Amino acid sequence: MISRAADYLEQAPTTYRRAVQQERRLTGYEADKSGHQPTVSHTLVWRFLGWLGGLTLPLAAARELLLKSDPDSLCHRVAGSVGPHKARSRQRLATLETARQLLLVAPQWERRFGRPFFPQFATRSGFD
């Protein structure tokens, strides 16, 4: 889901529907006994981005730890700008921008501390 969300945020023509496709085929789960194969809904990308965009406290904490560990880090300068056509409102655009910042800072955090950002830090650190 992280790579799908990143594709949506970084590639201007990518829509939510295209984000769940791979080579023009929908991403699916394993087929059940009857042969039915459910597919991933395009709305899952927005819900995931909405969740990421709400992780403002873990983002701030990650930046603070990165700067304490490496004062030369540029993590605080990651703007995370997203094309305005990707959102219908300013609030939604802000959520997408926070999500993009998090997706850009997380790999820096992982390289620096040698531990996964998800779920170890972001979801288990006591932040809401």
Where do the structural domains in the chain lie, given as residue ranges? 2-23+38-121
Q: Which of 92, 67, 35, 16 is nearest to 27 (CA)?
A: 16
pLDDT at 36: 63
Percent helix, strand, coil in the chain (nearest 5)? 55, 5, 40
pLDDT tens, position by position, 64-113 = 999 999 888 888 888 888 988 998 899 999 999 999 999 999 999 999 99
Phi, psi of 28 (to 5 degrees): -130, 170
pLDDT at 110: 92
pLDDT tens, position by position, 5-61 = 998 998 888 888 788 777 665 566 666 677 666 667 778 889 999 999 999 989 999
Is the pLDDT at 128 greater than 60, yes or no? no
pLDDT at 13: 87
pLDDT at 53: 93
Specify the length of the chain in residues.
Answer: 128
Phi, psi of 21 (to 5 degrees): -105, 150
Determine the straight-line distance between the first and last CA of the chain, rounded to whole angstroms.
20
pLDDT at 119: 78
Residue 25's DSSP bridge partners are 22
Work out the average pLDDT over 106-125: 83
pLDDT at 68: 93
Work out the average pLDDT over 114-118: 88
